[in-house]
Amino acid sequence: MNLGNCPRCGKLFAKNFRDICPACSKDIEREYELCLEYLRAEKTATIQEVSEATGVSIKQITKFIREGRISIANNPNMMYPCEVCGVLIREGNMCDSCRSRLARDLSAVAKEEGSSSGSNENRGGGAYGVVDKFRGPSR
């Protein structure tokens, strides 16, 4: 039997297909139903308003949205926080600003790696560079 502590409440439980205990699983389903009922009545609600009215955390509501359980297509004011900076977004995990900054940083690292790898080849580097040094020149 595979036992573990529930990351939500800390109680010991027999792990199954979910990583949380059955009690927390029921609580999450109840929170989902509360959010869904509120959004059916208040289609123009924001994530903050849903959280205040239902008592469900913004983090959990965001998780429902990312899992596809709550659709933001039918709720024009429903947005969730960017994972990096927290600005409200309607799609993806990051806002455009953070996404472009990440792309710039990645291209700078790739460019840096590209310029330093040329000098590595001249030195006989690589995975087998050390082995080749012990063998001596190729015959």
In the chain, DSSP finds a helix count (H) and a strand count (E) of 5, 4
Kindly report the pTM of this predicted structure: 0.71
Angle of helix 22-41 relative to helix 47-54, nearest 10 degrees? 120
Long-range contacts, stretch 20-29, CB < 8 angstroms, 24+ apart: 28/60
Answer with the residue of higher pLDDT: 136 or 113. Answer: 113
CA distance 6 to 14: 9
Q: Which residue has the tokens 């990583």?
A: 19
Residues 6+ apart with CB under 8 A from 117: none
Q: Which of 45-54, 105-114, 127-136 has the highest mean pLDDT?
A: 45-54
φ, ψ at 23 (rounded to 5°): -65, -45
Tens of pLDDT along 42-69?
Answer: 999 999 999 999 999 999 999 999 999 9
Average pLDDT, integer, range 28-50 = 96
Q: Which residue has the tokens 């709720």?
A: 75
Alpha helices in 1-139 (DSSP H): 22-41, 47-54, 58-66, 96-122, 129-135
Mean pLDDT of the chain, nearest integer: 85
Q: Return the closest-CA partner of residue 47 out of 23, 65, 74.
A: 65
100 has a pLDDT exceeding 50: yes
- pLDDT-wise least confident of 3-7, 40-44, 106-110, 123-127: 123-127
- Helix/strand/coil percent split, the chain, to 5: 50, 5, 40
Q: HSE-up of 118 (CA within 13 Å, CB side)?
A: 5
